[in-house]
Amino acid sequence: RPTLSGAAPLEPVAVSLLASAQEKGAFCLDGTPPGYHLQRGSGDGSGSWLVHLEGGGWCSTVKDCSGRRMSVLGSSNFMKPLQFTGHGIFDSDEIYNPDFYNWNKVYVRYCDGASFAGDAEGQAQDGTTVYFRGLRIYEAVIGELMEKGLANATQVLFTGCSAGGLATILHCDDFSARFPQQVSVKCFADAGFFLDVRKDISGERSFWSFYNRVVQLQNVRQVLHKDCLANKDPTECFFPTELIKSIRTPMFILNSAYDSWQIQNVLLPTSSSPEKSWLSCKDNIGNCNSTQIKVLDEIRNTMINDLKVINDKADWGMFIDSCFTHCQTLFRISWSSPTSPRLGNKNIAKVVGDWYFGRSQGVKEIDCEYPCNPTCN
């Protein structure tokens, strides 16, 4: 389809490798320099910046992290140019991305395995070093972007999806503190609200144990809030439920209350050996029976309850739909299209834009229980 805005670049955006990687010790898991993709803004968007942290789960053992070194999630050797056009909030087409189409857009690649939060290293079985340098990657990449024009931004949206959504929550206040007070800086976490579900389907606290290993292995304490650490275990402080209590910067939380990744990996991890009927439900919520839906509703209720703190934060927003999905900003179909999920007759792009630009008061939308929303696809 020809683009209607006339100026939408269709060529992929090249990867830029961090120039100061060696000097800053900011390495991917395999020791290669981290990378990001920068597309310059135009027109009235040339002073506005969208900075996005990529997601991709976590690794909690030296062996798992070592395995990632042979993929894009652990090495810049595998990073290729990315197509922004057609990809939701990165779309350069004004029709599908009216508020952010001509902004400077940055997609920061994820190659550390701990939500840009760790600072440690380990030794693989073959004797080579595995670098857990997510915090240094975050700091060095943001530093380089500041030199490339981010420091002169008039308005900024700091985003991330999945593990990158958690990273956005972790770094939100630090990121906004880098700008003068008059600059509009807000944070937007997509599918990063991971729940501390006390038990999976087998009765084990498997996800908490997994997070605990990540926290210990990669040494993520430095990015956790001091007031939380004074009273709670560091692992508990790594969960968004605790993190959002301390954040001062305006933030928007976008999540499905029936997040497909969390249902598949937190409630029904492979280690819990779900029975056949649960395997079918895990693959597609449409296959779940009424008893199983009740269990999923409990997950939803946990999320809604954990998000209550946002009601007292006037400049925060949220869009919690009931769609069986994970990460909704990076796809045109869910961000802004005729078939996008809607709450209050608005799609995600409209609600986020209204929140960022202050076009409507109290942008806090929570969907009814599954399967009530016919706009979920």
Q: Which residues are known catalytic residues?
A: 162, 259, 326
E-only strand ranges, 83-205: 104-108, 120-123, 129-132, 155-161, 184-190
Indicate the length of the chain as a whole number.
377
Q: Cα(161)–Cα(326) distance, rounded to whole angstroms? A: 9
Which amino acid, 53? L
Give me 94's structure tokens: 């004004």
Q: Cα(281)–Cα(333) distance, rounded to whole angstroms? A: 23
SS3 346: strand
* DSSP classification of residue 71: S
Nearest to 369 by CA among 320, 315, 305, 313: 320
282-286 long-range contacts (CB < 8 A, ≥24 apart) are: 284/324, 285/258, 285/260, 285/324, 285/370, 285/371, 286/324, 286/371
Contact 211, 234 (CB under 8 A): no
Q: Cα(214)–Cα(332) distance, rounded to whole angstroms? A: 32
Nearest to 375 by CA among 332, 355, 350, 346: 346
